[in-house]
Chain A
Amino acid sequence: MHCLLFPGQGVQRRGMGADLFGLFPEATAMADEILGWSIEELCTRDPHRRLRDTRYAQPAVFFVNALLAQQVIAERPGHYRYFAGHSLGEYNALVAAGVLGLDAALRLVDRRAELMSQVTGGGMSAVQGLPVSFVRRALTETGLPRVFVANLNADTQSTIAGDRAELAVAAKAIGALPGARVVPLNVSGPFHTPLMAAAEQRFRAVLDGCDFAAGHTPVVSGVTGDVFDTGRAAELLARQLSTPVEWVRAVTTLRAAGVTGFDEVNGKTLSAFLTRIAER
């Protein structure tokens, strides 16, 4: 059984999707219309150096993911029995599963990007080489109230996020543990932490006005690590902003459901995580 995976913010690269936009002229025109700027110019040339900015990076990654997915799925209809996405990528999974239309999803992503980019003063760091239990213990020991585990990406790979100053202290403490490597990530906000509460509130209002279909293919949620309950879609997507990405649990759930083959669009980030999540 196969599952298609969608990465989130962080995979953006200048030049991504360059040969796609011409193949999907209508979708591209629609995106320009919704966003109010040229998605193709941003992705291929990025003349104003916006690709690293959350405000622009999220719609860009989402849209390129979506076009790539359309290609991949059209090649092998019915091949994928599950979809899952990491953070932002979850919107792509919902589109692929028929829960959201591309246009509706892009509008949500655009709004989400706007709200998330307004939360500043925070940051994220990747932690490699440590089990998350060690990371949590280290955070407890530092006594810093505003740093949290934000992603559980693989058995010894996680990210921490929070207040920028406190994050630096935490990174130093964690980096001192044997085998640990802490790498600052190019992200402006403390995503997937309680510090996103205000953004979550505002985004919840946006989501409440949104319709979600039941979909035709199951999605596994990074919020719960279980199958995405489309009846609670608005709630889950709102909570997503302030709760950790439970990627290890999501993969474990997919494997338990019988998924043996994983494909990924737009790079190999999630595939690399997979090799570092032991079979349970």
Chain B
Amino acid sequence: MDTDIAVVGLSVEVPGADDLDTFWQIISSGASLTRPFPTNRREKLAEYIRYLRATSIEPVTDPDVEYHNGCFLDEVDTFDHTVFGMNPRQATLTDPHHRMVMRAMFLAFEDAGYGFDRLRGSRTGVFVGFAVNPGSTYLDYICRVDPNNGQQAITGNIPAMLANRLSHLLDLRGPSLVVDTACSATLVAVHQAKNALLAGDCEMAVVGGARIVFSPVKHPHSNIGIESSDGVTRTFDEAADGTGFGEGSGAVVLKRMSQAVADGDRIYAVIKGSAVNHDGNTEGITNPDSDSQADLLDAAWRNAGVHPRTLGYLEAHGTATRVGDPIEHEGMKRAFARYTTDRGFCAVGTVKANVGHLFEGSGVIGLIKAIAVLRNRMIPPQANFKNPNPKLDFAAGPLYVSTGLRPWESPDGPRRCGVSAFGLGGTNAHVVLEEYVAQAPATPAGPGPFLFTLSAATLKSLVRLGERYVRFIDAAGLDGVDIADVCHTSQVSRSGHRHRAAFVVHDVADLRRQLVASLADGASPPPDGPLGDEARRYLAGEPVDWRRLSDGRRRIVRLPGYAFDTTPAWVQFPDTWRAQLSLGTVDEEHPVTHDVVFAPAADPTPATPGARVLALVDPDTDAGRLLAATGLDDLRVLRLGEPVRPGGAPFDARSADSFAEIARLVEDDGVTHLVHALGFDATPAADLAGLDLRTGKNLHSLFQLTKALMAAGVKLELTVLTRRAVCARDAEPDVVVENGALVGFGKVIGREYPYLGVTHLDVDPDVSPDAVRAEILSPERGVFLWRDGRRLHEVFVEVPQVDTDGPQSYLRPGGTYLITGGTGALGLAVAHAFATRQPDVTLVLLSRSGLPPRAQWPDLLAAPAGDARAGRVRAVRELEELGARVRVVAADAGDPDALAAAVADVRGEYGRVDGIVHAAGLPGGSTVMFRELADFDAVVRAKLHAAFLLDQLTRDDRPDFVVHFSSVASVFPAPGQADYAAANYYLDNVARSRAGGPTHVIALDWVAWKEIGMAVDHGTSGDTMFRALPTRVALDVLDAGLRSGRSRLFAGELHYRGELIHLLRSYDVRLSAEIDAKVDQEMQALEQRLRQAADKIRATVDAVDVELEGRPDGGYTDVERSVAQCLALAFGYPTLDVEADFFDLGGDSIMAASVANTIAVRHDVQYDVADLLADRTVAEIAYHVEDLVAFADAAA
């Protein structure tokens, strides 16, 4: 099989050269491009470097910034975004390397005779050699300017996109990949591309790379040890002390030789063979190895099938380091010695001495130099070479260093050469090249005329391109070239852009004449005739089948490359960074634990007169008598069993119809104050049946009443009146704890429907009727208690330190501990904490779902991941590995019979239950208005009834402790949590009432756990008013709580820096003075931050310069202009069409959010992503925004 690979196109750009001819001038003259870092680039970086130094953890105080010398490009901050289908903003956020690679490959394709049309859908591979280098990356830089850039910039800055963007843009279907082998990367990529071509992975391949030095600051810490002291590369010279930085890009287009010949391609050179190897285990990973390099050359020669004696030139890696050069020289010598003892027949040199070291890009630059040497048949002088390095004994070997430009004679066969590139870390590559000698003479074309085409993405580029052709012709660029080939090449490789010109020409002189005429006077219409028709079709943008115009024997010839229309594409570092930087603020630490205490409150605020009061009363309680004694003027007392309206159905606490009737009555009679006093029971429920009656009569009635009032859209003040339902202090006697659930419920009503103003009034038997009257009429909302004639109110306080003055070892060796919700994430975490603390325990994990029988565990664990049961089984196994005995019981904590049976079973087997963690629970569902009683009740039962029953079941043999898992919802509930809040308030209440008893009962009010649990399952585990609780912190609170004597802890750290902290004040719970002060301070700070952010956005938008276009009369509204500024800020266009679509401009759904936010802030209206995605054009957005502004003005 023929394994020759043809190089059919190339591009090269280094400082001072942008094509093969100018590149050869540098090489053939032995020029060295080293110079100081250009001033304009220094100026652009100065502030950034000052910023980096100032913000480094170890600040660099040296005020001077010194730069390395090197072979630097004049500018790396411009780009022609149009031709690459990008918008200016995208281009600006794209890594310059990325842009240079695209440009280099585009030019190489053009040179090879391939325009966009010809490439589209082809099996072409893209191979890029690239590495992210230490120090600054462009992404790092632009994100320091504005972290918001990161999201939009991602596709322009991750290395994979270097290859993928081009494949995407040109619709190329071959392999598309980035090779990182450090400095050998592009030459390894050539080897990979060659293999891909031979394997049939693709029919054509482009290989290339680019390198810039973002900020070549001299700093001892950043040196990698190969830098030349003065930036000059003196390979093989006595004075060599390292390599100089080089910048530039290069690309080659490769095809199988046979294909290239068949396609009429212009063949620069032939790749005969190549090899890649690694140094293996050398003394150090950065040490090169001459034996490996010798093996590499040998392998490449064998792969190429050439004898090394036939080589006339070697392009060495040659980094000019004291270590590297002798090793490379030694390697070459050893390789040749395996074949010949002849001396001094092969010149050796390296382009690094001319253009510096382009690192990952250096391989392809060396390859292109070797091609230039072959094509010019001249051996160039080695730059910066004065006195040979005495360590290199050239005279004794096959190599010599050329000191002048001299012809390369090769009488015995084609000229051949080799190219080496070695990567830091040990990956080496070598390629063997041969000059191409055309096999068949060119076929002359028929008489003509022919159609010459020219196109560009912008008008400016088109004009420049025309001028470039005239200069090219004047410089003899088309001398001896068949005009038919010129036209053919122009058609297939340069015709596909939007702005077009076409000329029907007879010869080169005719072409020049027409070009000059059209540059001076504009294009003249094509002549009549078939070719003229073709030209017209082409100019109209219609598809043209160029093959019809060709005789099938046309060749690709060399024509001028594309003239880019570049504009600035660089994120400017703001010189105002010092003012914007707020360094040195360290967040204060806030306690994780809190409590709610009842503290004295001022007297109720006086009421406005004219109240009409309706009270719902249970005649079996004292409520009627108390209310009658209040002396309320306009009071109606409705007792259970009495008809709601004369002659109507009797009032039934369990009937939804009764409450619908009451809601109507309220409206009809103009009731302003409603008192729910059904829960005025004097003694707590004695048993489960009693509890059911209580919740049915009191909690369910409040639920139904609320639902009916909401459905009717009623507005009134609602007082929920209870008698000693709330445990006001630890161990308060005679508390009717189950009625405490009404407090939790009441807290939610107003959050769902603010037109019901809810007060919970809990009194002791000594309360004065006057106080009750004042409370009912008072507009104050919240929970108020009357004890011993004093008014108390809830206060949320910090618990900075939990006094661990209780039992230090709360887990008995050999003890039995019951955990409800035990196979849930929290339950298992608790079990794990217990087993870790005291391995010799029996853990009874009770849960609704339980676990499959142990016999099934091995299968479950062997099954592919993802089964939640497997995770639970694994957790149980872990407990057992810790030494604990684990018993999993399936029982629903909300089902009394099941729970009773399970506990009886456990007691039967293990005796006393030594401790209980009641962690079972169901999340709340929806708002009361849309909640069904059965669902409401299920949430309540899993906590409230289960806790009640556990207490009853262990009455005769009290455990050491009971921990109730309560929730933030019992203090600060959200809408939709009425059931959950009610149940959890009960848990808090019961714990407090049991304080000081034989069992340590403690309720822990958890905020969302960060890593596990209900909130994670429901996706609500983020920080809210509180920071989500890491599991470790939560378990520490549990441990501290159990070692304390406390009856209750609220576990959650306030998220003072969050944007939701203001919500804390929206609750009718007083905040302690210290919390209140912190909230106050943080709210002010937040407001200031938001204001500053908004001001910054407005200022940035206002500074955007953009022209609107697209409307014939040129009239645009102010809002259209400001909307255009918002879009231009996102995309960077200097002009925008009022009807241009957001997506056509380069928008995507990711950036839509930030653009919508910019529009909203700039115009001070509510405008979100959905609006933007619907409006999509400047005109439509502006129309919408004007509407919103008018709306806001009207409201103000």
B1187 touches A178 (CB 8 A): no
Contacts of A131 in B (CB 8 A): 710-711, 929-930
| 18 A–B contacts, CB within 8 A, in A order | A131-B711, A133-B712, A133-B929, A134-B713, A134-B755, A137-B755, A140-B713, A164-B1190, A164-B1194, A165-B1194, A168-B1191, A168-B1194, A168-B1195, A169-B1195, A171-B1191, A178-B754, A179-B752, A179-B927
Contacts of A165 in B (CB 8 A): 1194
B751 touches A178 (CB 8 A): yes
- Closest partner residue, chain A, to B1179 (CB atom): A49
Chain A CB within 8 A of B901 CB: no
- Closest partner residue, chain B, to A173 (CB atom): B1195
A178 touches B714 (CB 8 A): no
Contacts of B930 in A (CB 8 A): 131, 155, 278
Chain A CB within 8 A of B869 CB: no
The answer for the CA separation of A155 and B711 in the assembled complex, in Å, is 11
- Closest partner residue, chain A, to B710 (CB atom): A133
B residues 1149-1196 touching A (CB-CB < 8 Å): 1187-1188, 1190-1195
The answer for the CA separation of A137 and B930 in the assembled complex, in Å, is 17
Chain A nearest CB, measured from B666 CB (Å): 12
Chain B nearest CB, measured from A252 CB (Å): 15
Chain A CB within 8 A of B24 CB: no
The answer for the CA separation of A134 and B988 in the assembled complex, in Å, is 32
B710 touches A134 (CB 8 A): yes
A136 touches B1195 (CB 8 A): no
A133 touches B1191 (CB 8 A): no
Chain B nearest CB, measured from A130 CB (Å): 9
Chain B CB within 8 A of A75 CB: no
- Is chain A's interface secondary structure helix, strand, loop, or mixed overall? helix
Against B, the Cβ 8 Å flags (1 = close, 0 = not) of A254-277 are: 000000000000000000000000
Chain A CB within 8 A of B715 CB: yes
Chain A interface size range: 20 to 34
A residues 187-219 touching B (CB-CB < 8 Å): none
Contacts of B712 in A (CB 8 A): 133
Chain A CB within 8 A of B175 CB: no
Chain A CB within 8 A of B604 CB: no
Chain B CB within 8 A of A184 CB: yes
The answer for the CA separation of A140 and B715 in the assembled complex, in Å, is 10
Chain B nearest CB, measured from A233 CB (Å): 33
- Contacts A168-B1194, A178-B975 given: A136-B713 contact, CB under 8 Å? yes
Chain A CB within 8 A of B753 CB: yes
Chain B nearest CB, measured from A150 CB (Å): 16
B residues 710-750 touching A (CB-CB < 8 Å): 710-715
Chain B CB within 8 A of A29 CB: no
A137 touches B714 (CB 8 A): yes
The answer for the CA separation of A171 and B930 in the assembled complex, in Å, is 23
- Contacts A133-B712, A184-B1187 given: A177-B754 contact, CB under 8 Å? yes
The answer for the CA separation of A133 and B713 in the assembled complex, in Å, is 4
Contacts of B1190 in A (CB 8 A): 164
What 9 A-B pairs are tightest by C-beta distance, nearest first? A133-B713, A168-B1195, A168-B1194, A137-B713, A165-B1194, A136-B713, A172-B1195, A168-B1191, A178-B975
The answer for the CA separation of A178 and B710 in the assembled complex, in Å, is 14
A178 touches B1195 (CB 8 A): no
Contacts of B1187 in A (CB 8 A): 184, 186
Interface residues of A (CB under 8 A from B): 123, 131-134, 136-138, 140-141, 155, 164-165, 167-169, 171-172, 177-179, 184, 186, 278
- Contacts A133-B713, A137-B755 given: A179-B1195 contact, CB under 8 Å? no
Chain A nearest CB, measured from B211 CB (Å): 49
Chain B nearest CB, measured from A7 CB (Å): 17
A184 touches B1191 (CB 8 A): yes
Contacts of B713 in A (CB 8 A): 132-134, 136-137, 140
The answer for the CA separation of A155 and B930 in the assembled complex, in Å, is 9
- Contacts A179-B927, A179-B975 given: A134-B753 contact, CB under 8 Å? yes
The answer for the CA separation of A171 and B1190 in the assembled complex, in Å, is 13
The answer for the CA separation of A215 and B603 in the assembled complex, in Å, is 70
The answer for the CA separation of A136 and B975 in the assembled complex, in Å, is 20
- Closest partner residue, chain A, to B1192 (CB atom): A168
- Choice from B711, B752, B1192 contacting A133 with Cβ under 8 Å: B711
Contacts of B1192 in A (CB 8 A): 168
Contacts of B752 in A (CB 8 A): 178-179
Against A, the Cβ 8 Å flags (1 = close, 0 = not) of B927-944 are: 101100000000000000
Against A, the Cβ 8 Å flags (1 = close, 0 = not) of B912-938 are: 000000000000000101100000000
B715 touches A184 (CB 8 A): no
Contacts of A164 in B (CB 8 A): 1190, 1194
- Choice from A141, A172, A177 contacting B715 with Cβ under 8 Å: A141
Contacts of B710 in A (CB 8 A): 131, 133-134
The answer for the CA separation of A136 and B752 in the assembled complex, in Å, is 15
Contacts of A184 in B (CB 8 A): 1187-1188, 1191
Contacts of A141 in B (CB 8 A): 715, 755
Contacts of B975 in A (CB 8 A): 178-179
The answer for the CA separation of A266 and B1195 in the assembled complex, in Å, is 34
Contacts of B753 in A (CB 8 A): 134, 177
- Closest partner residue, chain A, to B974 (CB atom): A178
The answer for the CA separation of A172 and B927 in the assembled complex, in Å, is 22
Chain B nearest CB, measured from A44 CB (Å): 16
Could you list 10 further interchain pairs (A-B, Cβ under 8 angstroms) beyond the known A136-B713, A178-B754?
A: A123-B1191, A131-B929, A133-B711, A133-B712, A137-B715, A169-B1194, A171-B1191, A171-B1195, A179-B927, A186-B1187
The answer for the CA separation of A147 and B1077 in the assembled complex, in Å, is 42
The residue in A155, A164, A178, A184 that gathers the most chain B C-beta atoms within 10 A of its C-beta is A178
The answer for the CA separation of A186 and B1188 in the assembled complex, in Å, is 11
Contacts of B1188 in A (CB 8 A): 184
Chain B nearest CB, measured from A179 CB (Å): 6
Contacts of B754 in A (CB 8 A): 177-178
The residue in B714, B752, B1188, B1194 that gathers the most chain A C-beta atoms within 10 A of its C-beta is B1194
Chain A nearest CB, measured from B1025 CB (Å): 15
The answer for the CA separation of A178 and B1194 in the assembled complex, in Å, is 23
The answer for the CA separation of A136 and B712 in the assembled complex, in Å, is 9
The answer for the CA separation of A15 and B1061 in the assembled complex, in Å, is 47
Contacts of B1193 in A (CB 8 A): 168
B residues 535-570 touching A (CB-CB < 8 Å): none
The answer for the CA separation of A35 and B645 in the assembled complex, in Å, is 59
Contacts of A171 in B (CB 8 A): 1191, 1195
Contacts of A136 in B (CB 8 A): 713
The answer for the CA separation of A140 and B716 in the assembled complex, in Å, is 13
Contacts of A172 in B (CB 8 A): 1195
The answer for the CA separation of A278 and B1190 in the assembled complex, in Å, is 36
The residue in B755, B1187, B1191 that gathers the most chain A C-beta atoms within 10 A of its C-beta is B1191
- Closest partner residue, chain B, to A178 (CB atom): B975
The answer for the CA separation of A109 and B964 in the assembled complex, in Å, is 66
The answer for the CA separation of A119 and B1192 in the assembled complex, in Å, is 22
Contacts of B755 in A (CB 8 A): 134, 137-138, 141
The answer for the CA separation of A164 and B1190 in the assembled complex, in Å, is 9
Chain A nearest CB, measured from B208 CB (Å): 44
The answer for the CA separation of A140 and B714 in the assembled complex, in Å, is 10
- Closest partner residue, chain B, to A138 (CB atom): B755
The answer for the CA separation of A167 and B711 in the assembled complex, in Å, is 23
Chain B nearest CB, measured from A145 CB (Å): 16
Contacts of A177 in B (CB 8 A): 753-754
Contacts of A123 in B (CB 8 A): 1191
- Closest partner residue, chain B, to A49 (CB atom): B1179
- Closest partner residue, chain B, to A170 (CB atom): B1195
- Closest partner residue, chain A, to B975 (CB atom): A178
The answer for the CA separation of A123 and B711 in the assembled complex, in Å, is 27
- Closest partner residue, chain B, to A163 (CB atom): B1194
Chain B nearest CB, measured from A15 CB (Å): 13
The answer for the CA separation of A141 and B751 in the assembled complex, in Å, is 17
The answer for the CA separation of A141 and B757 in the assembled complex, in Å, is 14
The answer for the CA separation of A188 and B337 in the assembled complex, in Å, is 93
The answer for the CA separation of A167 and B1194 in the assembled complex, in Å, is 8
Contacts of A179 in B (CB 8 A): 752, 927, 975
